[in-house]
Amino acid sequence: MSFNDGVRADPGRVRRSRGTRGTRGAAVGGGAGVLVLLVYLFTGADLSGLVDGGAGGGAPATEGAGFEHCRTAADANADTDCRMVYTADALDQYWVAALPEATGTAYEMPGFEVFTGSVSTGCGNATSAVGPFYCPPDASVFLDTGFFDQLETQLGAENAPLAQMYIVAHEWGHHIQNQLGTMDAIDRQGTGPESDGVRLELQADCYAGLWVGHASSVVDPDSGETFLAPPTDAQVADALDAAAAVGDDRIQAGAGQQVDPESWTHGSAEQRQRWFTAGYSGGTVAACDTFRAGTL
């Protein structure tokens, strides 16, 4: 899925911070690190007590620093950092119209911080081992783009553009849930394939699919061009593979653990793919109501 010529985005939309590197290799390289990734990946939950308070936060975030070269669609199509800038803009422009239309709630842009090694957040000091996450107190998405390499080398999915965009769009989905009060209204302590926590994650997957399905019709207000070319079947398959790769059952098995549905916090590979597809093909926010679904 590529950005169309003529589309422009603001490099200042994304913040960057740099912490100490080296934690990721130790945390994710072994079975324990994979288990950390299993438990916390895409969580959207408060990370207090789950992250290393002694790791040290990242350097203060600087808006736009390091993204000055991200000026054209060609930059976004060739460079991961620039893809983050343009994906954030495309997500903002979709949700600023879709959220109030579907729910009557005005969209508020989340923060988006790309960090290296570790980062200090309102949810605690997190390292790259946590994976991409959304912090409700900060109303912000945090991501170390090095995770995309891990997606391929550790989890077996293709490090492809739409797979990367799916991950960011999933975290944006948690921001939508935070705005709508969904996070505060559910029991996030339970586990299992039908638990509220799994429903929360599957809804975020559905919101990601919803954006992918509409992204090629969302217009960049600065250029009048649509942001993205329609995705090919192969590109959608990349996103689906990424969704499956972060299924609880897939990661448990990959870590040499027994597959235990009662411990799931994010949903199985099949569930995650199914709800991404529900958003992608259903085309409405209402189609993503996992909390009213009789079965997931």
Q: Which residues of the chain have pLDDT under 50?
A: 20-59
Convert the pLDDT of each residue in 266-296 to its tens digit.
888 899 999 999 999 988 999 999 999 888 7
Only one residue has tokens 């739409």, namely 162
pLDDT in tens, 45-73: 334 334 443 344 444 555 556 788 888 88
pLDDT of residue 254: 76
Confidence (pLDDT) at 69: 87
CA distance 185 to 92: 25
CA angle 197, 111, 67 (to 5 degrees): 130
Query: Residue 42 gets which letter from DSSP?
Result: T
Confidence at residue 279, expressed as pLDDT on a 0 to 100 scale: 94
Q: What is the predicted pLDDT for the residue at 30?
A: 25
Across all residues in the chain, what is the average pLDDT? 81
Q: How far apart are CA 266 and CA 264, in angstroms?
A: 6
Task: Give residue 19's pLDDT.
Answer: 64
Alpha-carbon torsion 176, 182, 188, 192, what sign? Answer: negative
What DSSP state is assigned to residue 262?
Answer: G
At 189 the pLDDT is 80
Global confidence as pTM: 0.85
Q: Which residues in the chain belong to E strands, given as ranges?
A: 15-18, 62-63, 111-116, 118-121, 124-127, 133-135, 140-143
